[in-house]
Copies of this chain bind each other. A is one copy, B any other.
């Protein structure tokens, strides 16, 4: 499959470099007749865009989406490809001229050169977080598709740890508004304040911080996903690791669950409850055998400290010389707050594709609206 396409039935192809004319995506396979809520798309893009707070890069981009195709005159999806585009505006390629021949540490400069023999040396090129605009926009569409049938669907990610600061008090009924109540997107106010201070201190020193997000998805029925290679957890992990700076993913009890308990303690007992099968614990994270079991899907996703830092670093150029690199320019001292809508978007893309695949192979999972999962 094409490397820049994600999904099989709800297939999203993104395009664009950070310093080229535009970034965007083409969504092929969107169900027809959906009244597209552009404001909902823009809302997720606004959570992703730079310049939204003191914690993010000051690059100024409104990131206003333009729909190039796929909509009827009254704004419903036609079922044909939905092309969405954002023009790049505040590019300042000149900032990068000093580094034209330098491989920035832990960036993709060298590996793109090794792969392609050339690269867009202005900014991150294709490896820039600007590429995720297409994903976030497509994910917002995917979420709308899902929500038509699953009105209680909730896909919420939040910052659960920055550097050595974990969040503790995270409410079970978290929503995006609450997540956004602090610029860190950590819903534990105390931890959020500490995180903000830590990020600003790191920025002050020209340094950066990493951390991890947590994600919960509920309102989802059992039966989504596939055996084997296309397991729902495999798809989610692959989707998240495809995000810039992501270094790990665990589902349900994850790494800790693998070593802190035994099978007797890890298994999730089934119980019938009001005619619905539930588990009384959820170490499986809502997925068993690669298929959703109707319990909340939970995951944790790690992002490394931003590779762009302002302090001097050992590095090398593309001419065989070792050099010292003193970065300048604009960057995020911590990608986590902006990664929240990216993770939600990738989750929505995985789920929407799984839903359409399920409907294709097995028939509509909830043909009778009265029996759709609530």
Contacts and interface: CB of A to CB of B under 8 A. Distances in A.
- Which secondary structure dominates chain A's binding surface? mixed
Given A29-B3, A69-B20, A122-B73, A291 B360 contact: no
B163 A262 contact: yes
A28 B267 CA distance: 30
A151 B277 CA distance: 35
24 contacts: A15-B82, A16-B68, A16-B83, A20-B70, A21-B69, A29-B361, A80-B125, A106-B266, A107-B288, A111-B291, A117-B362, A127-B289, A202-B262, A202-B263, A208-B263, A234-B241, A247-B255, A250-B302, A259-B302, A270-B316, A271-B314, A360-B361, A364-B364, A364-B367
Contacts of A36: none
A322 interface: yes
Contacts of A257: 210, 247, 302, 304
Contact of A111 (B13, B292, B367): B292
Contacts of A211: 258-259
B238 A33 contact: no
Given A257-B210, A258-B210, A304-B253, A291 B80 contact: no
Contact of A234 (B22, B221, B239, B269): B239
A302 B257 CA distance: 9
- The residue in A8, A23, A69 that gathers the most chain B C-beta atoms within 10 A of its C-beta is A69
Given A164-B259, A357-B360, 6 more contacts: A3-B230, A80-B126, A80-B227, A238-B241, A242-B290, A247-B254
A337 interface: no
A28 B16 contact: no
Contact of A80 (B4, B22, B93, B248): B4
A60 interface: no
A305 interface: yes
Contacts of A294: 114
A101 interface: no
How many chain copies?
A: 4
Contacts of A66: 21
A56 interface: no
A113 to B, nearest CB: 9
B242 A228 contact: yes
Contacts of A26: 4, 13, 15, 26
Contacts of A313: 264, 267, 269
Interface string A74-97: 001011111101000000010000
Contacts of A228: 3-4, 14, 126, 131, 242
A285 B126 CA distance: 21
A20 B71 contact: yes
A20 B68 contact: yes
Given A258-B303, A261-B305, A290-B242, A116 B367 contact: no
Contact of A238 (B1, B234, B320, B322): B234
A138 to B, nearest CB: 11
- The residue in A110, A254, A322 that gathers the most chain B C-beta atoms within 10 A of its C-beta is A110
A158 interface: no
A363 interface: yes
